[in-house]
Amino acid sequence: MISFILIVLASLFFTGIINRTKSITSGRKGPGIFQPMKDIVRLLKKGSVYSKTTSIIFQIAPSIYFASIIMAIMVIPLGEYKGIISFEGDFVFFAYILGVGKFFMIISALDTGSSFEGMGASREALFSMFAEPAFFILMGSFALLTGHTSFQEIFASMHFGPYISYILGVLATFVLAMITMIENSRIPIDDPKTHLELTMVHEVMILDNSGFDLGMILYATNLKFAMYGALIANLFMGSFPLYLTIPFFFGIQILFAIAVGLLESFTARFRMNHNAQYILALSSVSLLIFLGVLVILGQLN
């Protein structure tokens, strides 16, 4: 329960911090860190407009997407403290419940019949597909290392003993951070601020959504950021007592948001065909982690 509450709290300011960092680096004052939330609240107060060409799928997809994120967050623990749901193999559940949400967003984009949205949907499907092995090799390696298969047990029993495990921690952070950028469609994979439909990935899929639906989708993005931030924080928390865990959790979230902001300020995004290559390369970083785990376990002679 505690992790759920903390993630929701972190989601309130996460994108705000990214935007503020980007504003400061470009020499602007920028909006307050709660501005994205205020925008979402404004959207939630509005009704939605549906195109006549769309079917029921288009109307239910945002709710399913939002629900899938909430479900995924429930699985995430906070160090030793279990999430609301916790069972053997829950990281598989985590990945595929997110997949369900994404699947509905993709078919709802196709439902609109727009040539742009179909294009965005095909890109999103491709990139998520490529990101999947990276996540599973990473979690699988940790399962092998700790001998457990649920998030809570994996994170609780992870100790950074030998020096090589620090390297694993850094690599795992990198992989998770990049998966966050892919899943949230941020630079260098996608540019959430662009007005150019032809270059969009996620943004173009939600062009037809409006009002309450759009508000839900945008808030889901904020939640997703905080969710992956929580996963990264978990990597290092181990068995800290609660009074240390909570500041540590927020510290990691804020650092992560600032890092995302800095990355988005000083680099350009990839060319679209480099995205697929880049995401596939993430899997090889995960394989390195797997190799490291084998070394630690002494199974490599």
How far is 77 from 155, CA to CA, in rounded Å?
Answer: 8
The mark string for 124-163 relative to another protein (x by CB under 8 A, - otherwise) is ----------------------------------------
How far is 38 from 189, CA to CA, in rounded Å?
Answer: 26
Least Å distance, CB 221 to another protein, is 17
Least Å distance, CB 27 to another protein, is 6
The mark string for 273-292 relative to another protein (x by CB under 8 A, - otherwise) is xx------------------
Assess 268 for contact with another protein (CB under 8 A): yes
Which of 273, 301 has the CB closer to another protein? 273
Residues near another protein (CB under 8 A), total = 29
When binding is defined by CB under 8 A, the residue of 196, 243, 298, 299 that contacts another protein is: 196
Classify residue 213 by burial, with Cβ atoms within 10 Å: 0-12, 13-18, 19+: buried
Q: What one-character DSSP code corresponds to residue 147?
A: S
Least Å distance, CB 155 to another protein, is 34
Which of 201, 251, 219, 182 shows the shortest CA–CA distance to 73? 219
How far is 173 from 21, CA to CA, in rounded Å?
Answer: 21
When binding is defined by CB under 8 A, the residue of 6, 187, 232, 289 that contacts another protein is: 187
Which of 215, 181, 204 shows the shortest CA–CA distance to 45? 215
When binding is defined by CB under 8 A, the residue of 92, 272, 285, 295 that contacts another protein is: 272
Assess 16 for contact with another protein (CB under 8 A): no
When binding is defined by CB under 8 A, the residue of 195, 241, 243, 301 that contacts another protein is: 195
Assess 36 for contact with another protein (CB under 8 A): no
Question: From the CB of residue 229, how many other CB atoms can be counted at a distance below 10 Å?
Answer: 26
Which of 78, 96, 97, 75 shows the shortest CA–CA distance to 86? 75
How far is 202 from 174, CA to CA, in rounded Å?
Answer: 22
How far is 65 from 69, CA to CA, in rounded Å?
Answer: 7
Least Å distance, CB 59 to another protein, is 25
The encoded tokens of residue 174 equal 């990198």
Assess 270 for contact with another protein (CB under 8 A): yes
| Interface residues toward another protein, by CB under 8 A | 22, 25-28, 115-116, 119, 187-188, 191, 193-199, 264-274
